[in-house]
Amino acid sequence: MSTATAVACANIAFIKYWGNRDDKVRLPANPSLSMNLAGLETETTVDFADGLEQDEVMIGGEPQTGLPRDRVAAHLDVIRARAGLRHFARVQSSNNFPSGAGIASSASAFAALTLAATAAAGLSLTEPELSALARLGSGSAARSVPGGFVEWTVGQDGQPETSFAFSIAPPEHWELVDVIAIVSQKQKAVSSTSGHVLARTSPLQEARVAGAAGRLQRCRDALLAKDFTRFAEIVEADSNLMHAVMLTSNPPIIYWEPITLAIMKSIRRWRAEDLPVCFTIDAGPNVHCLCPAQAAPEVERRLRSNLDVTRILLAGPGGPARLKS
């Protein structure tokens, strides 16, 4: 087969990945834990074709040049080397969520690219192999390969194939919803890739990393027990720790807007008033409001009426990356 199409979901981390032990092969500084986001998907077709002089990459119908194209081409180089293939490829990729909504798409993009390109190249890889390979393109993509609730392990130094993600519970384990408050559509000022490099300049990163395995264990226990109260405390604490590192990096990175903080404070107040909801924030100003499914309509209503948030996306737990026949 020289052509294949794959689909992968975005994911939201409950315990965050921030900083690498090895930036080149994205060996993470700490383990992380996430949920795939159903319905927020990237679909990618890879066609290794005759007669191309370089990889041609289209994203959302737009031909790519410069860094975005080079990042895809570098990932295809790894896959070509593994498959002993010389052909360049035509890559067509599109997201079904609004572009510019500030929802990280590198996770779903590199998971879908990895699955489509390896299948098109005739490689047959196990899920851990695919996850470790997707990680080379974008760290969080490792977590969009398996389905449902997913843990990404740090692996051994010098052995990149040992750092991959695996499912700890299927999507139907817990009806959690991510109510995503889109407060800005601007391109983020500092890319995650640059942020990971800057993380080591923060005096707080060492403490954040030292506590990550313990937080992950507590988060996993709460998740497996479906204990929202314990889950909410640890998820917010972990997000705040990552943003503390961002704020204290040199130069500092401030991803929040005033509305981000207003939503964070409201969510803590709503939880104190017995609405089960907590927040987590990635490398941008949008707020992911996590809640059990039955609380989602009320969370959405309050975001709209109390905080004037007009753009909201909802996503429950999503499945693994898959090939389309």
Residues within the interface to ligand DP6 (CB under 6 A) = 13, 16-18, 26, 32, 104, 106-107, 138-140, 192-193, 196, 282-283
Nearer to ligand DP6, 13 or 314 (CB): 13
Q: Pick the closer one to ligand DP6 by CB: 32 or 114.
A: 32
What CA–CA distance (Å, rounded) separates 87 from 2? Answer: 10
Q: Could you tell me the smallest distance in angstroms from the CB atom of residue 107 to ligand DP6?
A: 6
Least CB distance from residue 242 to ligand DP6, whole Å?
7
| Rounded least distance, CB 67 to ligand DP6, Å | 12
Residue 82: exposure state from Cβ atoms within 10 A (0-12, 13-18, ≥19): middle
Q: Measured from the CB atom, is 18 or 164 closer to ligand DP6?
A: 18
Decide the pairing of beta strands 176-182 and 89-95.
unpaired
What is the enclosing helix (H) or strand (E) of 57?
strand 56-59
Cβ-contact 235, 14 below 8 angstroms: yes
Closest distance to ligand DP6 from the beta carbon of 17 (Å): 3
> Minimum Å distance from CB 174 to ligand DP6?
19
| Bridge partners for 290 per DSSP | 178, 278
| CB nearer ligand DP6, residue 140 or residue 184 | 140
Ramachandran region, residue 155 (left: φ > 0; alpha: ψ -120 to 50; beta: rest): left
Dihedral sign for Cα 222, 224, 228, 232, please: positive
* C-beta closer to ligand DP6: residue 55 or 282: 282
